Structure formats: C-alpha cells, structure tokens
Structure 1
Amino acid sequence: MSLLEVKGNQFIWHGEPVRLLSGAIHYFRVVPEYWRDRLLKLKACGFNIVETYAAWNVHEPKEGSFCFEGMADIVQFIQLAGELGLQVIVRPSPYICAEWEFGGLPAWLLGYPDMRLRCSDPLFLSKVDAYYDVLLPKLRPLLSTNGGPIIAMQVENEYGSYGNDKRYLEHLRQGMVDRGIDVLLFTSDGPTDEMLQGGTLPGVLATVNFGSKVEESFAKFREYRPDEPLMCMEFWNGWFDHWMEPHHTRDGTDVAQVLDDMLQAGASVNFYMFHGGTNFGFYSGANHIQAYEPTVTSYDYDAPLSEWGDATPKLEAVRHVLQKYTGETGAAQEAFPDPLPRKRYGEVRLTRRSRLFDQLDALGPRVERTHPEPMERVGQNYGFIAYTTFVNGPRRGQELWLQEVRDRAQVFMNGVPIGVVERWDPKPLKVDIPAEGAELTLLVENMGRINYGPLLRDHKGITEGVRLDNQFLYGWTIHSIPLDTLDGLSFQPIPDDAAGVAEAGPFFYEGFFEVDEPADTFIRLDDWTKGLVFINDFNLGRYWEKGPQKALYLPGPLLRQGQNRIIVFELHGPRETVVRLDDTPDLGEIASVDPSVLSFTTEE
C-alpha cells in the first residue's frame, strides 16, 4: 500500500493529513554538479517535495540504446533529493510536453510511417512498453513503499488536451502496476470539460493545471471530482520564450496572491517551474497554434529560482506565503544557500575556422535518394541536414519552392547563398539558372519538434519536395549533420583578409581561453548572427540575434581549469570573430505575462 493515500478530500501521509507543497526541477535541464544546490534552495523556500518529468528521448536517444548517466541519471537525482529530506513526484509519462523537443518522445518514433502517437496503437504501445521495461525497474527501489522518496507517479500528461483514448491510459496505468509501481498514481489536465473528460481515469487521482483563476479552475474540477483532494499539479508562475518574441515575465506579487488563494482553499500545489534550467543542445521544443514558434535555449521561465540558480524577488514573495501556512515547522525556516560564484573571463577571439560544405562527409553519412527525405527517414534525430542536386539550365525568373520545409533552410547555388526559406514564412525564392546549369544545396535546420497539440507529428528537413515553379526536382544527395560529435572537423587559420566570410557559407569557428578557477559565466555573441555554441565539446544550445535571448548560460562545471575550447557554428557570418564571457546575463526585451491567459490556455 502507498504511504501517501487519498481519503475523501485529503491527502494522508503515514496516517496524518498532509498538504503537498512541491516545486518542479528537471534533472535533464541542470548539470548534475548543481542538483544539490537547486534542491537545497527548493527546500529552503518552503517546499517539501520536488517534482520532475522523465524525458524518454533523453533516456532512449536511439531505439534500444539507453542512457542513465550524467544529466540523464534520474536515479542519482531522486536519491539525492531523498538524502536532503525531500519527497519526490515523478512524471514518467511517455509524453511530457515541457517545451521539450517532441514533448519528450524520441524522434526515432517518426521513422515508423504507420505509427500513431499517444493512443492504443499496438506499435506505439510496444515501444512504450520496451522503454518502461528499462525505466520503471530503476525507479521501483526508490518508491516510498520500498523506503525511498517517491510518493506519487503520473500516468500520462495533459492527455485530455490531445485525445480521449481510455484504453491507452489504462494500458499505461496497468503497465506501471504490473512493473511494481505501487505508489499513488495520478493524471493532470487543464480545468475544462473536454480536458477532464479525455484525460482522467476512474480510480486514478485527478489533478489540474493552471496559472490563475483559482476559484473558477477548482470549481470546474469539482464538477468531475467532488470528493477528491484539490491539487494544482502545474501552477504556471512564469512563462517560456519563443525566438523572435519578447522575454516573458510575471509579477511576483501576483504569483504570491494566486498561491495564497490556492492554499486558503486547502489545495496542494506544484510550482511549474520552481527552477527552469536550460534546454541544452537540440532539446528545445516548439509550439504551433497559429504558426510554428520555436522555443529558445534558456528555460529560465521567470521562475522563482533563475536559470543560473539565483533567488529572485518572486522567490521571496513565494517563501513568505509558504511560511504563513507552514509556520515554524516549515522548510522555509532553513538558511538559504549562498549564490554560486560567477566570473567574467573577457573576450575570446576565435582564430581558426572550418567550412561546413568542405566537411560534410566527416560530420555524418550521406545517401542518394530520388526525392528529398526528412531526417527521420535517413536515421537522423537532431541537427541539420543538407540536400544537393544539379539543375539544368538555362531557366530565368523561376520560383524555387521548398514544399513543407521544417524548419529553416538556407539556399545555396554553386556554394553561394541566395536566400533563406522559413517555415513560418514559406515564400519562394526567385532564381535564375545559367545555361551550364547549377548545383543547388539546401541546408535545413531542425529548430525543435512541436511539443504540444494536434501537430505533434513533426518530421524535420524537406518533408514534401522541392520544385522550380510546378516542376519537382529529383535526384538528390542527402548529408546528415547531427553534430553529436565534432571530432572529424579540420580547422585552418582564418586569413587576415577574410572580410567576406559572411558570403562564403556556414563555418565552424574555433578558439581557446584559459580559466584559472571555473565558475558560472555567460557567453555573449553580439557580433554573430545565428548558430550554436560548443564548450569542450558540450553543445550549449542555439543563439540568434533576433532574440529575445542575448546570452547563453555556461555553468562552471562545464569548464576546466586551464585551457578550454570553444566552437561556434555560425550559419551566416560574424561581424567579428569574438565572443565575450561575462558575469551578467542579458534577457533581452521584456514582456509581461497576462495572468488571465494562464487558466484555460492550451499551452503548458
């Protein structure tokens, strides 16, 4: 029997009524060296529980190949939380949303053309079962029923926002039970009729997600579950950012008032997020409501604890409210850990470069295809993909159409850039093909798979075809560029007269800098356009001059005492090959979140 039980409208822990005060920290968004710091700050704020998703695509990046090491060591994270006196809520749903790439689903699922996602399709269920056969036995010893800190686990995540397949939900629930999961199970959905109808299961605790309108949200929940405890499983106290939009913030006073309203109503709560962390590498997701909207590298979320672990005024406001309800027995009585050190390392000049199109065979495999294939059909998950064909000439004033480009394509003719086609603005390019013909190359960037809603099935690359006017072009060479390793690159010194680098196509730029004492810092790329940054072969994530994110957070544990290597993969060309390592972030233009949209929003 689970040590955390539901009796009537109360949670019972070891026979006594208890209120669950939880905050979300995702282990896969924080370097392991900082897990203790973030968990201690959660506890000192007044929370007694940490909540985390489990990201399937982190743990099974390739089908049948599993990873539970480093930032993927969910067992170590949970054990550490228990050692620090925190209980744990785990949400191991196959799908997590979380503004995470593909909502946590592994990209290789899209290599099965007939598979249906998030339903009782036998093929999909077989892949979930194979994953759970590995994941759940690792979690079983950590259950509270076995002396561990895990008190509850989620069956599926906001399923009512996607479907209504009860057979699917029951398969997941029964699969957890059959694999020894005997703690409290629950679902979480938005507080609307269709969401609560589609996403809940009889006999399984239901919870709701919202950011405001406490009375209204819980009233709708009570229409479906009149005799269960009230719990907001995701209290959206901040918000996330998309590229080309302002940075979102929410007033801490408003957050504190909504929290007070919840606790006054006798509810339990999980802060989404308490600490957001970072979408390192290619793991940032995307939304698509009216148009495709890719998420930035930072997942600061305007949470009480910042991306780099600093307490914010919002944290102090939240701590004050929690202390009001927990009194002298609350964790908020504990001393708050000091901020981690940050350092300014100054300018780093990148002095060597490697032209992408000279290195394609060193970066990944190539295949020959009649027509362009999306990434997943050639066994690629993330990164970039290049398509090359030869076009006969002459052709004058024709329109080059990239049919269903996902997500952003740079177009080159005989190695010279001639334009960019973007998913959110898929206009054709006017082209002239000379009499002798021309080589056409399309470099397509995967900017993150959709993580929420009916368009979840999001193949990357060129997904339909390429045509000049109405004539499709056939006969393509396809190069995968996953960038999971840069070991094969060959660098050369940048010539002194390389002022025209922006016209020469994408380059990798390399530089080195010395560190006497590793500490957190921020990489500013004020003279760069768009691309990626690698530190000691670790992919920090994307940058783009369009913002709102203006600097990349670099955690100190990724640095080494002595020499450190930085590689910038710049897609268009820098104004100057210099980056700056500063001790102050720049979050860009600020926009306030309207709390009124955070109750019945269709996004997490």
Structure 2
Amino acid sequence: MPQELRIEPDGFRLDGEPFRIISGGLHYFRVHPEQWADRLRKARLMGLNTIDTYVPWNLHQPRPGAELDLAGMLDLPRFLELAAAEGLHVLLRPGPYICAEWEGGGLPSWLLARQDVRLRSNDAGYMAAVEDYFRALLPVVAPHLASNGGPVLAVQVENEYGAYGDDTGHLRRIADLLRDGGVDVPLFTCDQPGDLARGALPGVLATVNLGSRAAAGLAALRAHQPQGPLMVAEFWNGWFDRWGGVHVVRDAADAAAELDAVLASGASVNLYMFHGGTNFGFTNGANDKHTYRPTVTSYDYDAPLDEAGDPTPKYAAFREVIARHAPVPDEAAPPPAKKLSVLGVTLDRTAPLLDGAPLLGDAVRGPRPLSMEELGQDFGFVLYGTTLAEPGPAVLSLQDVRDRAQVFVDGQPAGVLEREGHEPAVAFTVPRAGARLEVLVENQGRVNYGQALHDRKGLLGEARLDGAVLRDWTSRPLPLTAASLERLEFTAADRPPVGPAFHRGVFDVETPADTYLDLTGWTKGNAWINGFPLGRFWSRGPQATLYVPAPVLRAGANEVVVLELHTAARTTVALRDTPDLGPEEE
C-alpha cells in the first residue's frame, strides 16, 4: 500500500501522522545475504523503524555501460523486500559518491581511465557515466519506493558534498536525475555542521552528521534551515580502524547519552552504524591527508551489532534510550549465535605466485608500466616485469607507487616500497646480464574521502635504474577473483617457497557456524574459504582475525587458501570462536 512521507514546517508526517525516523545504517554489500534477515530483525527489536543503506556503484556496474550486477550480496531488491517484510522503512543513499570507508567512495575505477576526468562535478564525461548508472539503477529502485508501496521513504542526493566542494549546480544535476528517473519521495542532503552552507541544496531537506555536541550541531542545522524536520543523518556511535593503528571504541554509556540528547530535542536520527559488517575481498577504502592510510578489513565500527551480528553493550544501552522516546518491541534480541572453533588447520599445498602468474592474468607489453585503470582492472595486484641489461649494484627508483611494491630480481626478494612510508627507491645487486626484474604492486584501497579521490593504482610515472628510464615492460593484472584462483596448480612442498605464494588446506566441519580465521604468525596477504574472499590480513594490526560468516562454510570438507606475500613462517591457521580486532585506545 502506498505511503507518503511529507516534510512539514514542524517535522515529518507519514500518511498525515507525525513521524520520527529512528534509523540505523546496515550496508547489504557488507553482510552475507543469508544473514540479512537476521540483522534486520535485530534492528526492529532494538526499536528502529528504518534502515539506512548506501548503494555501491563500483560493484553494481564494474564496467562502463554494463548491466547492473544484482546477484548475491548485491541483490538490492531482495534486501529492500526483506526490510519491508520486517516492517522497516528504508533511507536509500545511491550516491553516486558514498564515502563509507569503501573503495574509491563507491566510484568505479574505470572513471579514472580518463586522465582529465573531474569526479563529483559537472564534468561531461563524469556526468555521462552517472546518467547511465542512474538509468540502470532507478528502474530497479522504483518498485520499492514508498509511493509504490515499498519501504523507501526518502533518497539522499550525493553524500557530504560540502566537505568536498560547493558546486550547487552539480547537486542540482544529481537531484534532477533522481527526479527524472522516477524518484518521487523526499530527497535530502547530509553534511557536517560546518559544511551545511556548501553542501545543501535549496528546496531539498538538509540534515546534519555528528558524533558529539549534538545540541550545537542541531542548532547549526536550525540556523541554516529555519523550519522543517531536524535530523541527524549520521550519528557516529563508533568509528573505523586503519592498518597500523588501534581498534577504536566508544564507551556505550557516552554514546547512549549523546543519542538521548538527539532524541530529546525531537530530532530524527540515523545511527552510523547499527551494524557495520565487513570489507570483504579488496573493498576497503583509504584516507590520504598527506599520508596514505588504508582501512582494515573489519567494519565492526564498535556498533550495536558486532561484525558477527551479535548485540554489544551499545545495543542494550541504545534500546533503553529509544524506549524513552518511542515504542520498542517487547521481544528481546536473541543471544549471541554459537561460534565454531577448529585448531591446527594445516596448509600443506602451495602455489608460488610469481611462477603461477600466467594462470591468473594475461600480460600486456608496453614501453612503460600501465596503471590498473589502463588495464581495465578494479582490485588486486599488478605484476610488472622487465629485463636488466648489466650486472652489479643498482638503485631502482619508482616515481609513484600505488600502494605497495615488492621488488624481485630473478625471483629473489630485493625490497619493499610503500606509499604510506613515502619510500621512492630500493638498492640491490643485479646478479647477471639479462636478469628479470619484477615488481608486484598491491592496490591497498582507493581513497574514499577528500580531494585525493582521483586515486589511480599500480606504478604511475617513470621507473628508473641508476637514473636511466627503464623501458619495455610487461604489465600483468592479477585481480585474484575466485575463478582465477581455481586455475592455480597446488603441489606439496617440503618447505615454504621464497616469496609470495598461495597456501591451501582442508578442514572438516560438522555444523557450520560463524567463526574467525586466526592468521597469527603470518605476515601480509589475503584469505579465502571455499572461494569466498574474507579480505586482507596484515601483522601490522590492529586486526588479527578475519570474520568467516557461517553461510560460507559447509558440513564436511572446507578449503582455505591463504596468499602470503612474504615467505610463510608457519604452515597452520586456526578457526577461533572469538575475534581479535586488536588493542584498543587507552
């Protein structure tokens, strides 16, 4: 049955009755689809009446003009149907830019294949791509709008645009595309208090994002927008982690008190996040404020539901606060789900990456290294190669490493250069004339926030040996998809191979359950179970375990594959019943 959310001078009205949005962020693309219904039910039981989700353009349309991918974890229509079945409304945030600590802020990497593209602007090429995306997406969304009897009450225009620019004309173009595409529910923008003037759009509801000082933030919103509903579109009840940092947490009582202040003011609210989920595979983003900082695999976010969907102390504290201001179901949330523990899983088969690279991707020859975007590649690695003419001591200088380069000479490790450390050169000895130089470059996540969004990957610019430009390169894309990993040839090995290698093992499970892959003793790389990409690990921390959703496992034999980018110091992993997200802030 159609519903109508109206924006009135004194607040929201739903079908003519006063209505307050009490929402929580839950990104379908960060949660296994077989667990969506569980998370949505727990949202309702905490007292939420609405769910908020972004839509990741880069996953839904991985190639220009391609049909939308709506399979598996990207089945947006099914997610919206499950939300409706649970009695929840939806705030939809289709971008095209979403931030979300997500790879590239959700903007597809193929946009960067054009050197002069200007993202998040009225640049002709950028807007043509946005228009094509919306033409594909909005007909999928339309049946789920509240005006058509669906759960989507309102749709966001772009995302925190005031933190990036002040081009109201660009926001107007995005809003017009939404309207022209059939979005007839209310539109809204969201910005931090100091960015409201730059990011708001006349005639569209402005909302504010904050984590503390709620009274001041809401006052800034009211000063900017003298009448209409007050809403905190992102109430930051936790935060995300970065590699090399600590696990960020926020005291439940402190967060609950701030939430109480928001609700006591009469404002609507969206918790960011209600349930964070996981940056599976290569999907984490990064920040770059003069130093590049990639985000970890876990998006636990210290949220009311943890990464495995279990209630945390914040769940109970927030439920108590919400009950002071709105009806809360009598039924309590279920207890934490049972977890699986399997110790001492031996990885007794190996496949060296350098030797097996031809099975994983086709090399492209050229006078210089090609970027990922020039290779039409989104995620993963590129293996670059060239031949060195003269033996003896040498210094390799790389103009711009995006983001981490491992250097090999005739297959032997010669050094590592990291964008994060601003490291430009490595010295080694060339053993013979005609030695093979290989550089394995990892995309550790495209920047998702700020002016550094134009974040191309691979080796950019010139590569020099002792000051002379190296020419005649091969550039081999290694996206490491599940399909490509099936082509690897694993063999038994008496000792771990030198350099990057895949390690494979099998373990048995009687009854599948959530678990955590413990990679203590391993250095850096990625892991898969039954072909499902769990994400990245790094001994740098803070995160030491990778979440394994129960639906990834099966009764009986299960396969685990670990890519170790450095020589493996051990041959076993473990599945544990508790996570280790690292030391917390003091």
Same amino acid, percent of matched pairs: 49
User: Quick check: 2:319–2:328 contact (8 Å CA) kept in 1?
Assistant: no
Structure-1 residue corresponding to 2:238 = 238
SS of the aligned residue for 2:101 comes to coil
Quote the Cα distance in structure 2 between the aligned partners of 1:113 and 1:336: 51
Structure-1 residue corresponding to 2:563 = 569
Quote the Cα distance in structure 1 between the aligned partners of 2:249 and 2:178: 37
Q: 1:30-179 to 2 correspondence within 5 Å? A: 30-65=31-66, 66-179=68-181
User: Quick check: 2:388–2:433 contact (8 Å CA) kept in 1?
Assistant: no
Matching of residue 188 in structure 1 with residue 190 in structure 2: yes
Which stretch has the larger CA shift, 156-165 or 108-117? 108-117
2:473 pairs, out of 460, 473, 476, with 476
User: Quick check: 2:363–2:475 contact (8 Å CA) kept in 1?
Assistant: yes
Matching of residue 590 in structure 1 with residue 577 in structure 2: no
Which AA in structure 2 matches 1:55?
P
Which AA in structure 1 matches 2:6?
E
Q: 1:174-323 to 2 correspondence within 5 Å? A: 174-192=176-194, 195-323=195-323
Deviations 1:125-172 (A, max 9, x none): 111111111111111111111111110000110011111222221111
2:426 pairs, out of 426, 429, 446, with 429
Quote the Cα distance in structure 2 between the aligned partners of 1:373 and 1:469: 21
Structure-2 residue corresponding to 1:363 = 360
User: Quick check: 2:142–2:182 contact (8 Å CA) kept in 1?
Assistant: yes
User: Quick check: 1:9–1:230 contact (8 Å CA) kept in 2?
Assistant: no
Which AA in structure 2 matches 1:494?
A
Cα deviation, residue 395, structure 1: 4.4
Cα deviation, residue 109, structure 1: 1.1
Gaps in structure 2 of 5+ consecutive residues: none
Matching of residue 560 in structure 1 with residue 554 in structure 2: yes
Quote the Cα distance in structure 2 between the aligned partners of 1:564 and 1:248: 33
User: Quick check: 1:2–1:183 contact (8 Å CA) kept in 2?
Assistant: no
2:517 pairs, out of 519, 523, 540, with 523
Which AA in structure 1 matches 2:18?
P
Which AA in structure 2 matches 1:488?
R
TM-align CA RMSD: 1.3
Matching of residue 493 in structure 1 with residue 495 in structure 2: no
SS of the aligned residue for 2:141 comes to helix
Quote the Cα distance in structure 2 between the aligned partners of 1:529 and 1:435: 30
Deviations 1:448-495 (A, max 9, x none): 000000000000010112112432211111111010131211111122
Which AA in structure 1 matches 2:36?
W
Structure-1 residue corresponding to 2:461 = 464
Quote the Cα distance in structure 1 between the aligned partners of 2:554 and 2:513: 10
Structure-2 residue corresponding to 1:341 = 338
Quote the Cα distance in structure 1 between the aligned partners of 2:77 and 2:304: 25
Quote the Cα distance in structure 1 between the aligned partners of 2:255 and 2:290: 28
Quote the Cα distance in structure 2 between the aligned partners of 1:435 and 1:363: 28
Aligned length: 581
Which AA in structure 1 matches 2:469?
F
- The TM-score normalised by the length of structure 2 is 0.97
Deviations 1:200-256 (A, max 9, x none): 111000001110011211222222111121111000000000001011000011101
User: Quick check: 1:102–1:451 contact (8 Å CA) kept in 2?
Assistant: yes
Deviations 1:277-331 (A, max 9, x none): 00001100001113100000000000111000111111111111001111xxx13
User: Quick check: 1:47–1:332 contact (8 Å CA) kept in 2?
Assistant: no
1:511 pairs, out of 501, 505, 511, with 505
Matching of residue 549 in structure 1 with residue 549 in structure 2: no
Quote the Cα distance in structure 2 between the aligned partners of 1:88 and 1:513: 40
Deviations 1:53-85 (A, max 9, x none): 011012112223320011001110111111111
Gaps in structure 1 of 5+ consecutive residues: 593-604
Structure-2 residue corresponding to 1:399 = 395
User: Quick check: 2:3–2:149 contact (8 Å CA) kept in 1?
Assistant: no
Quote the Cα distance in structure 1 between the aligned partners of 2:110 and 2:442: 17
Quote the Cα distance in structure 2 between the aligned partners of 1:118 and 1:130: 15
SS of the aligned residue for 2:227 comes to coil
Cα deviation, residue 2, structure 1: 6.8
Quote the Cα distance in structure 1 between the aligned partners of 2:10 and 2:525: 51
User: Quick check: 2:530–2:552 contact (8 Å CA) kept in 1?
Assistant: yes
Structure-2 residue corresponding to 1:452 = 449
User: Quick check: 1:40–1:337 contact (8 Å CA) kept in 2?
Assistant: no
SS of the aligned residue for 1:138 comes to helix
Structure-1 residue corresponding to 2:5 = 4
Quote the Cα distance in structure 2 between the aligned partners of 1:422 and 1:354: 25
- The TM-score normalised by the length of structure 1 is 0.94
Quote the Cα distance in structure 2 between the aligned partners of 1:119 and 1:469: 41
Structure-2 residue corresponding to 1:599 = none
Structure-2 residue corresponding to 1:595 = none
Deviations 1:171-219 (A, max 9, x none): 1111111111100100001110xx2222111100000111001121122
Quote the Cα distance in structure 1 between the aligned partners of 2:377 and 2:22: 41
